[in-house]
Structure formats: C-alpha cells, structure tokens
Amino acid sequence: MINKVATVFIWLLAIFVIAIFIFILSDIVIQGMGHISWEYLSQPPSDAGRAGGIAPIIVSTVWIVLSAVIFSAPFGLATAILLSEFTRQENSLSHWVEKCLDLLASIPSIVFGLFGNAFFSLFLGLGFSILSGGLTLACMVLPIFIRTTTEGLRAVPDDYRYSAAALGMTRYAALIHLIIPAAMPAIIAGLMLGIGRAMAETAALIFTSGYVDRMPDSVFDSGRALSIHIYDLSMNVAGGDSKAYAAALVLIVMLLVINSLAIRLTTHWQKNRIINHEIIF
Amino acid sequence: MKSFSKSHSRIAGVQTGQKQSSSIPYTVGPLESGPVCCIPESVFSIKHLSVHYAEKTALEDVSLDIYKGCITALIGPSGCGKTSFLSVLNRLTDMISGCRVSGQVTFNNRDLFDSELNLQHLRRQIGMVFQKPVPFPLSIRRNLELPLRELGMRQSSKLEHCIEAVLSDVGLWQEVKDRLDSPAHSLSGGQQQRLCIARALALKPEVLLMDEPCSALDPLSSGIVEDLIQKLKGRYTIVIVTHNLAQARRIANYAGFFWVNQQAGNLVEFGRCQQIFESPRHQLTAAYVNGNRG
Amino acid sequence: MASILSLSSTDQYLIIGLKLSALLVSGVVLLVFLFLLNESLPLLSQISIFQLFSDSSWHPVDGFYNLSPMLTATLLSTMGALLVATPLGISSAVFSRYYAPAFLKNGYRRLIELLAGIPSVVYGFWGLTTLAPLLATFHPPGVSLLTAILILALMILPTIALTADAAFLGVPTVYYSSAAALGLSRWRVIKDIVLPAARAGIFSGLMLAAGRAIGETMAVLMVAGNVVQFPTSAFDSVRTLTANIALEMAYAMGNHRSALFVSGLVLMMMVSVLVGLTEYFKRYKQ
C-alpha cells in the first residue's frame, strides 16, 4: 500500500519539478523571443539598453570568456597532468594541491569579485577591464577544468604508459603523442564546462570588468558581459525588463549549446573508454 | 669452434644493423645452428633479487643468469612473481609506486640500477611484450613510427623501409600492407600481438622480454606467435613467462621454475630445459612438470 | 634504488615545470585570502571583532559595523533553501534512477544537468518579474526572505539531484537486486537499503549545495528586498552578506570598503568550514 502511495508521490514531485523549470524557460522564451533579430545581435544598445541591440556586449562577453580560458587552460592542464601522471611518486604535493583546489572551488563568486578588484584591478593596475574580469574568472574556472581533465587523464589505461615506457619513450613523449590525445574529449569537455561557468558569472565581473556597454577597443578596455547586462536592465533601468528577457534568452541559448556539447563529448569519451578495454578477438 | 664464431658474428651483424638487400627479411635469416646453439655468455646476472610492493613481497632472493641468444622460460603457477621478475629486467618497476627492489642485477656487466644509466637507451635494448596486446589507439603505421621517431629516425623513406621489414618478420606485412593507416584496434587479437612484437623488434633490441604472449590469444594465433618466437631464437636473448609447459618444452633452452613460499615468490630450480623437464633435481619441480602440482 | 637522475632531461624539465604550475595554482587560494586580509586590515586594526556582532546597526558610514542581521539572513535563506530543495532533489534523483520508464530516464537527467547551467542572474530576473509579484498578491512586498528561499531552492535543486544520482550509482546493484529478490517492495528497497547506502554521497552533495546557497549573490540580490534587518517573519525583506557586498561596493570608501572585505572574509570562513566538515565526514565514514 505504502509502495503505491510512494510511487504516486514521487511521480508527482518529479512532474512538479519539471513543470516549474518548463514554466520558467517558456516564460523567458516567450517574452524574449519577440526582440531577437539580426539587428538585435548586431547593433549596440541605446537608451540605456531599452532599445537597440547587444552586439558590443556579446563581443565583450566573448573576450572575457576567451581570456579566462587562455589563462586557465595551460596551468590547469599542467596541474591535471601532475595530479594524474606523477601522483604516485609525490603523494604529499598532490594531496596539498587537491585540498587547495577544493577550497578554491567553494569560494563564493562575489568574494572572487572582491579579490579580482583588489588584486587585478588595483594591485596590478588593470582597472576595470576585460582582462581583469577574464583573469578573475580564470581563477574561478580552474578547479572545474582541473577536476574534469584529471579524471580524463586517469581514465587512459595504464597499459599504454607501460608499453610506451618499455619502448624507451620518455614520459614527455608518451604524454604528447599518446595520453593527451587519448584524453582529448575529456579535456575539451572540461574546457566547455569552464566556459559555461564563466559565461554564467555575474558577481565576479561587476567590479572587475565593469559596466561600460560600448564596443571595447582592447582587452584593457572595460566591457559589459551579457549577465551583467541582464542585471542592469532588470534592476537599474526602468522599463528594461523586456530587453532583459531577450538578453536572458540569448544567454541561455549560448549556455545550452555549450553545455550540451560538453555532455555529448563526455558520453562519447566514456563510450570510447569501453571500446579501449574490450579488444575484440 | 668454427660454427660457434660464425653464429656469434651473425648475431653481431644483426645488432650493428648491417644493410641487407630488401629481398632478404632483415632481422630473420636462415638459422645457423640447432637448439643447443647457445653461447653460455651471461647477458643478465641476477643475484639475491627481491621485489617488494606496498602490501606484499612478490619475489624473495632469486638468483639466476640469462644467457645470450637463448630462450629462457620462466614457469610456475600464477602469483609467483614471474611478471615482477620480468619488470625488473627493463626497470619497469621504477614506474610502479611503492615498489622496492633489492639485490644485484647486472646487464652486460654493468649495474642495471646505476643512476648514471640512460633509461630510454636501456629500454630500447630490452624490448617487452605484454600478456594483453596493447596496440596504441593510433593507426598501424603510427604504432610503429612513434617509437622509431623517438629514437631519432625521421626520414620517411627509412621509416617506410623499417616498417615493411619488421612487419614482414612477424608475418603481418601481407595482411596489412594495404591498410597501414587503419586503426590498430581493427586487427584481430593475434594480429595485434604480432604488431606489438613488431613494434618492439623495430628498435632492434638485444633482449626480448615476453610475459605470456600467447595466453590471451586463440590457438591459431598462438601457434603463429610461437613460430615467430622460434624464428627469433639465436638472434635475440628471449625471456618468456609461460603457463604452457608444452610450449616451454618446445621452444626453450633454459627454464626457471618459480613457486610460492611463505607468500613470496622464489626460484626453486633453474637449468637447461632438458634437465628441468626430464631429470629435475627438486621434488616440487618434478611434481609441477608432471602435472601433479600447480 | 631508482634515482631521478635516470630520467631523461626532458622528463626532468617536465616534472619541474608541472610542479611549478601546480604550486602556482594552489597558491591562488592563498593569494585570495591574503588580499582579502590586506583590504580588511584597515578596519580590523581599528575596531574589535565584537563590534561586528554587537554594534547597534549596519551603518558603516557612521561607524556601525554590525553584520548580524545580514549574517542571519544568509543563514536563514540557506537553511530554508536546503529544507525545500533536499526532498525535491533527492526524489528527483530517485525518480530518474528507479521510477522513470526507460525513455524518460536519460532525458530527465539531461534536463536537470542543463538546468544546473542556468545562470543565477536569470533565476533572479525571473524571480523579480514573476515570482515576486505572485507572492506580493498574498503578502506584500513580494521581495522577501521567502522569495529568496524559493529561488535559492530552485538553484540548488539540480546540484542535490545530480550528486544524489551519482551516489545512487555508487550503490552496488547487488544490494538492490538481493533486496528485491527477498520480496521487498520498490519503495521499501529505496527507503531502507539504497538511501542509507548512499548517505555519504548525498551528504556531501548537501554540503556542496549549502556552499552554493551561502555564496549566491545575484539571485538573492534581486529578490530578497535588500533591507538590513532581522526578519520577524518570512515575508520580511532581508539583505544577505553577499548581496550587501554587491550593492555597496560601488561607492564604499575607506573603512566602509574595509568592512565589505571583512564580510568577504566571513563568507570565506563559512564555506571553508563546510569544506572541512565534508572532508572530516569523508574520512570518518571511511
């Protein structure tokens, strides 16, 4: 009897959860759809964003995210390689690194905003700029990227490492030619996840990359990210709601595309792993 | 004496890589002499070797010599440390965390564990074939090219020649010459193992270590690989771990019998193959080779 | 016996480079802490820590630095969000793994994964334009602690559901099948066998979600009302520590700015405690 009640209850809750999310998404799609057009995507905003488009904002967002990735990817990859390939010999270092990454991952985004402001904007003198924002986001994105990449590298079978060593290849050569290519889907998935996180970020950017909504001249210029545009339109601009819906729709679509790519790559990688283990005789 | 020096020079000729015409396969030629060809010159000299892992001891106090040009079979049941023994010989144990090796091992009269030793050079002189065929997730051509490029061979004509020669030696050339760029994983198990042997041979090692190379293969492929190993006798020093006693009997010159004693593997008896199988000195050896134990 | 000298020089340089990189990366968290501390010092050197909790109010311009109303708002909104999201999240995970028909299983989980990627500013925006007015019809002003709790719950629900799902994946299927073979009904199996076995994973997921709720800025900024006061009911407007930083940072100077960095430090300490708790339980449970 209780089994049936439980089943009904669980189904209801599941439907309730899905209903809420569908409600939210459709609300945004319906209200934002009307404003999306080619002009919207290619024109600068006017009238404090109540009219016009979001072209410079998209450009700023892309530059901010790109600088975040450019700065976090090499260090993230190197750290992931250390954690997965050389952990066995250096136990205490990798333990310490992992703990630091856990702490880093838990820091709230506004605290990163404070840090970015104090360090990148003031101490390093970058001021309100795309570079400030990008560097701050790089710090935020590191733990996610490292975690996914480390897992991907660890999933490459040890047999390859032993075989490569037995053939007199250096660990470096084995990494470059064999192991990193084999783990590439996971690495890219990690990058995508990092990009998704960076694009969704608002609080860390308010005091690092700024509010200016015209087309940035360089990475040292201030730029407004899409998420900040949504915030500004809804909180600070009277009557900005309808444009905010449009911007929110654009942001969600971009994120959906990136996150689906990441998920698709991860499942593809996991499937390939299985093929690697089952050699067909 | 004459045939002795002649076979010696043949081996020396192969190792310096003398150019032979392309019609003759380049590492394997007509066999100079019969199974008792071995020059009792020691390539490896192992004294009181012990291998400890974090949780257990794999090998305790093993002493034996590996002789040049001969096939040495390591026999005994699973878990006796035979694979660990093999891993010591090309210092693959360096890569295993928590592994401690004690004792004295010399290779060509030099200390194997000398810190001045160039590990990459050593591992090219000592090739290894694993139990499960491990072709890299690359094309057949890339599988063979990769270690050769690392060796320093860059000219594509030399690479092509080497790949063709070594694939002919293992009998794969006719089977794969039209699809060198297809993934190595598309080959059958037996073909993959032969590819791995070819990959190891391409570096022109002195020694080949083989860890149960046929155990993961079907009987037909197993037979082909075994014939290949037979062809390599006299030209290479081979150490082969095998569970297949009949196989050991067929191909080996020397045999070492391992057993577990107090949770650690040790060497019970070592000697000429004929002696181990027909007149073993140890009771345990006799029981094992006759199928009464293990 | 093996020495690092046997490694080729390429490998030696590689290892050095990798270690330097790792040190740099782990240094970031230290850097964050140091700079926060540095910016907090001007205030901390002038007032005692007690003032942060005992001053009459939060009026930094006049020299009053009581963080407690905002701290309370943070804690209440987090706990409320956990209360609401935990049953929903766990039951979503239970649904997708044990109740959903085959064609829905992956789709449901995929949907939750995609929802985890929706930015907080979009949730806040929706809350401001739709949820708040809706709640306002019941009890004005729509922007309140309750709104914040509901929006936060929505945001942490995917986290809880996905970690619970991963925890269920870790429960050996043999538990489930042997219990079912004993004739236990599906609900009994889940309640008495699977949930307890997945307890550790679910708990660390809850800690993760709590950390996320504590650190959430934009969504609560947009829907909580932003009045600095102790809430007497769920319908009161409140301001969390995070929202406070975002609001005042633009014009804060001197000690005021320092005070904001101090609240940043407080936030960092709170989440560090959560991380520590998770670590402790992970090791204790092992």
pLDDT of A149-180, one tens digit each? Answer: 998 899 899 999 999 999 999 999 999 999 99
- The confidence band for C191, taking pLDDT boundaries of 50, 70 and 90, is confident
Q: What is the pLDDT of residue C286?
A: 55
Note which residues in 236-255 of chain C have CB less than 8 A from chain B: none
**Does C130 reach chain A within 8 Å, measured CB to CB?**
yes
Total number of domains in chain C: 1
C29 pLDDT exceeds 60?
Answer: yes
Q: Is the pLDDT assigned to residue B26 strictly greater than 70?
A: no
Task: Find the CB nearest B123 among A168, A275, A276.
Answer: A168
- A199 to chain C, minimum CA–CA distance in Å? 8
C24 within some domain: no
- Chain A residue numbers with beta carbons less than 8 Å from the beta carbon of B121 are 168
Q: Is A170 on the interface with B (CB under 8 A)?
A: yes
Q: Which domains does chain B have, with CATH numbers?
A: 37-109+123-289 (3.40.50.300)
**Does residue A119 register a pLDDT over 90?**
yes
The per-residue pLDDT for range B66-88, each reduced to its tens digit, is 888 888 999 988 878 899 999 99
C285: in domain: no
Where do the domains of chain A lie?
34-277
Average pLDDT of chain B, as a whole number: 82
In a domain, C30, yes or no: no
Q: How confident is the model at residue B29, as a pLDDT?
A: 37
Q: For A135-145, what is the mean pLDDT? A: 93
Average per-residue pLDDT for chain A: 86
| Closest chain B C-alpha to A51 CA, distance in angstroms | 54
Sorting pLDDT into bands at 50, 70 and 90, what band is B51? very high
Q: C6–B101: do the CB atoms touch at under 8 Å?
A: no
Residue numbers in C near B93 (CB within 8 A) = 2
Residue B226: pLDDT over 80? yes
pLDDT confidence band for A270 (50 / 70 / 90): low
User: CB-based contact (8 Å) between A268 and chain B?
Assistant: no
Residue C167 inside a domain? The answer is yes
pLDDT at A218: 85
Of the candidates A94, A175, A207, the beta carbon closest to that of C249 is on A207
DSSP chain A: -HHHHHHHHHHHHHHHHHHHHHHHHHHHHHHHHTT-SHHHHHSPEEGGGTEE--HHHHHHHHHHHHHHHHHHHHHHHHHHHHHHHSTTT-HHHHHHHHHHHHHHHHS-HHHHHHHHIIIIIIIS---SSHHHHHHHHHHHHHHHHHHHHHHHHHHS-HHHHHHHHHTT--HHHHIIIIIHHHHHHHHHHHHHHHHHHHHH--HHHHTTT----SPPSSTTS----HHHHHHHHHHTSTT-HHHHHHHHHHHHHHHHHHHHHHHHHHHHHHHHHHHHH----
Q: Name chain B contacts of A281, Cβ cutoff 8 Å.
A: 188-189, 216-218
Grade residue A88 by pLDDT with cuts at 50, 70 and 90: low
In a domain, C259, yes or no: no
For residue C14, which residues of chain B lie inside 8 Å, CB to CB? none
The residue segments making up the domain with residue C100 are: 72-240
End-to-end C-alpha distance for chain B, whole angstroms: 42
- Substitution target in B113, B150, B151 with the highest count of C β-carbons within 10 Å is B113
Q: What tens digit of pLDDT does each residue of A40-78 get? A: 888 887 777 777 788 888 899 999 999 999 999 999 999
Span A216-266, pLDDT tens digits: 888 888 888 999 999 988 888 888 888 889 899 999 999 888 888 887 887
Q: Residues of B with CB below 8 A from A182's CB?
A: 137
The answer to whether residue C200 sits within a structural domain is: yes
Give the model confidence (pLDDT) of B173-207 as tens digits: 888 989 988 999 899 888 999 999 999 999 988 89
Confirm or reject contact between A184 and chain B (CB < 8 A).
no
Longest Cα–Cα distance of chain C, Å, equals 77
Q: Which of residues 69-108 of A touch B (CB under 8 A)?
A: 88-89
Taking CB atoms and an 8 Å limit, are B121 and A168 in contact across chains?
A: yes
Tokens of A169: 């290849």
C5 — pLDDT class (breaks 50, 70, 90):
low
* Distance from the C90 Cα atom to the nearest Cα atom in chain A, whole angstroms: 10
**Chain segment C89-103, per-residue pLDDT in tens:** 999 998 888 888 888
The pLDDT value given to residue B38: 54
Architecture of domain A34-277: Orthogonal Bundle (1.10)
Are B119 and C1 in contact (CB < 8 Å)? no
The answer to whether residue C251 sits within a structural domain is: no
pLDDT of residue C209: 92
Across the interface, of B101, B102, B115, the residue whose CB is closest to C6 is B115
Residue B23: the pLDDT is: 35
- Checking if the pLDDT of A121 tops 80, the result is yes
CATH assignment of the domain containing C156 = 1.10.3720.10
Considering only A200-209, B33-42, C190-199, which range has the smallest mean pLDDT? Answer: B33-42
B130 contact residues in A (CB cutoff 8 A): 159, 162-163, 166
* CB nearest to A167's CB, from B121, B132, B200: B200
Entry pTM: 0.84
Which residue in chain A has the smallest CA separation from B125?
Answer: A168
Residue C19 lies in a domain: no
Closest chain B residue by Cα to residue A173: B150
pLDDT at C1: 36
- Give the pLDDT mean for A102-108: 91
Residues B241-276: tens digit of each pLDDT: 998 888 888 888 899 999 988 888 888 888 888 888
Overall average pLDDT of the A195-212 stretch = 89
Q: Which pLDDT score is estimated for B3?
A: 39
Q: What is the pLDDT of residue A272?
A: 58
Residue A64 and residue A86: Cα distance in Å, rounded?
Answer: 33
pLDDT bucket at A91, cuts 50 / 70 / 90: low
Helix (H) or strand (E) holding B167: helix B156-169
Average pLDDT, chain C: 87
Confidence of residue B294 (pLDDT cuts 50, 70, 90): low
A-chain residues near B196 (CB < 8 A): 163
Q: How many CB atoms lie within 10 A of CB A44?
A: 15
Candidates A167, A170, A269, A277: best to mutate against B (most CBs of B within 10 A) is A167
Closest chain C residue to B88 measured between Cα atoms? Answer: C2
What SS3 string covers C139-185? CCCCCCHHHHHHHHHHHHHHHHHHHHHHHHHHCCHHHHHHHHHCCCC
Which has more confidence, C146 or C52? C146
C-alpha neighbours within 13 Å on the C-beta side of residue B208: 30
* Cβ contact A166–B137 (<8 Å): no
Q: Which residue of A has its CA nearest to B152?
A: A169
